[in-house]
Amino acid sequence: MSRSIADQTVEELGGPGSVLARQRRDHIELDRLLHELDGSTGAAQEEVLTRVDRLVFSHAFAEETVLWPVLRRVLPDGDDLTRRVEEEHQEVNELVSALERDGLDSPERPARLARLVEVLREDVRDEEDALLPRLQERLDPEELRALGRRWALMRRLSPTRPHPTVSRRPPGNALSGLPLTVLDRTRDLVDAGVRRVPDRFAPVGRAVSSGLAAVAGVVERVPLSRRGDRPPTSR
């Protein structure tokens, strides 16, 4: 059985620039944030959850556009392996969308948060114990580093918010990625500004953010954005 990438040294993973090492660094940061989330409440909890979202959604988009197509190409069971992770990504999108929609006072919030943490930890285990070691078997260290560079670039150019109706596979995710990235990262800047400005200016910023969210909703539902998916992740 292949060794989990969690149990390997950086050198065994192909060096710090390898996609395996880059993925693991994100997983370590996610684990730290989830522990911080567990000990927080109210507005502080929302702040931590925002940082979790920004990490998770850019990470997942880079996987779905760069890594999973390679896995499906080099492994005979790659389609089944990646579909399981895509299902986890889909559930994360739906849970975070529900948390954002219903707010801090929702009676379902504790159960949703608990399930979100559970799914995120399952996702990390599936990737580190199953998918990524199989990828390591098929690619040499130089190929892993080249893939790591592509993954890192895509991560910096990825959406940062949940989009549950967008395809988890090409061509839909690739076609919707750029407009959603621009909209999400603009919203991130606007929302950060709202937290810093005097209260009398905050309603304007919130209105701008809501408008950008509405545009993103339109992009999500364009037929091209939904192409390539298959049950059970298609919506």
Q: Count how many domains the chain has.
A: 2
Q: What is the pTM of this model?
A: 0.93
Each residue's pLDDT, cut to its tens digit, for the chain (235 residues) gives 689 999 999 999 999 999 999 999 999 999 999 999 998 998 899 999 999 999 999 999 999 999 999 999 999 999 999 999 999 999 999 999 999 999 889 999 999 999 999 999 999 999 999 999 999 999 999 999 999 999 999 999 999 999 999 999 999 998 999 999 999 999 999 999 988 888 888 899 999 999 999 999 999 999 988 888 766 666 5
Q: Are 5 and 132 in contact (CB under 8 A)?
A: yes
Nearest to 160 by CA among 93, 64, 227: 93
Among the three residues 130, 158, 186, which one is the final residue of a domain in this structure? 158
Q: Are 233 and 90 in contact (CB under 8 A)?
A: yes
Q: Are 54 and 32 in contact (CB under 8 A)?
A: no
Q: Are 165 and 223 in contact (CB under 8 A)?
A: no
Among the three residues 123, 158, 193, which one is the final residue of a domain in this structure? 158
Q: What is the pLDDT of residue 30?
A: 98
Same domain, 141 and 205: no
Q: Is the peptide bond before 232 cis (omega within 30 degrees of 0)?
A: yes
The domain in which residue 227 lies consists of 163-235
Q: Are 61 and 150 in contact (CB under 8 A)?
A: no
**Cα–Cα distance between 200 and 168 in angstroms, integer?**
40
